[in-house]
Structure 1
């Protein structure tokens, strides 16, 4: 027997109220969760290094993460070296890791290594690990932390006068565009006291991003590393383009022997990751720490640093050789 119409309406109205209430609670929970900051040591991320790990963001549930593992999205993870000196500041590296699980592995692995060497590192993450947040977005976030009087652990310990952008794959393209965009890094950096972009490192930079290169400030040091077997990389085209700009740009280009696009995240049977990291770190030490030995090693092509059995292409513009 059918219920009287008023009863049906009443039941429907009650049901809709319940659904609206449930949706409101769920939305409130999502907003509260996504706005929760965590500042603690995470052994699964720290790897036992002498640094702390802090994160801010929302966790995406399976199946978004690689292998069904939840991943951080719409946020960042910071690696901050520990120090017995409360006033000590560390060079700052903003890392844009690229797309997918390989980019995530690159970001976490290199951040741990750099933090262990005394760099304060922020890794930016975007939607469900399918993309990344741009460097400009994270510089804006740091500026807000400072202007709103709520600096996090990294903001308190980073020396922003010694800053660099490091990117891999599409993240390398984002870093290059950010370096080239005068209204991006320049304007947002102005909100960070003492901010100075001292260098950019691009690994596995897809060739279609190289259009940004002529816009990069002439005096900005840039290190580009790519695998000689990378079908998406710059290869000879980038080398020719660099030579056309040799009198004006501050660039170093390195081709890694035998590596493909995944070289920066490959540890075996050949440790390409180690080859990328060794050269990148020496370059950062020279640009951000003023390590004259490292700078000289690049300038004279020291075979102990730029090993000819590891690197097939090594060249610098006239400005970079000074």
Structure 2
């Protein structure tokens, strides 16, 4: 009997303190809140982006989920050289990979599609183009998105040649890293080297022995740069240097300091742009470095 009274008294006390709230009438208890993940929806418009410190075309392509070539094709100043990117520059960025085409006199949906190697249905069917028929007339100056379209590209290589001095060293063919740093832009169709971000003033070393065939300011956007011929049909290029301490004709040894990291020329931040050329053709440096 005493047990029954004890339970009753306990229930009464609980009711007085707030019913079934075992923490008391004035205690707040967090309710369960379901977590909803917002899906990463495709972007449906053309935007304008302002280039910031450290940006590269490759990084921007990853951020906006389009191919790096798409960014070049939509911005004429970059089309032949992604290193022409500069701080504060305004870039047109498409919502999908492809070509941004400005209609000229005589253009038709069919001719545009053929030019960029896609079916005409791809142009008509893309919502932003607001086309209803393959034979619909196109106003001159109108901009159309060609999803999946491509522009032809012919790689341009600047040849650096000079007569090798009799004392010129020759490379081993086994390259060393010119600097240990984070890779911020990889080798791709329009970027014939790799970018290695490092603090300004960091030492840059020759990747292999050879002799210097170029040292100075580049008219092609490289800023202060050095090119070494390794005497085995291979050349390496080191660009955007803050300064360099070799001259044309100098022999250098593998690992010798030839300059310092900078941000000269077409650059949005301190880094080394490093290229490898074999028989005049660009090679991916990552395939040749340890």
- TM-score computed with the length of structure 1 as normaliser: 0.24
User: Would you tell me which structure has more helix in proportion to its own residues?
Assistant: 1
Q: Choose 1 or 2 for highest CA Rg.
A: 2
Structure of higher RCO (CA pairs closer than 8 Å, 6+ residues apart)? 2
- TM-score computed with the length of structure 2 as normaliser: 0.26
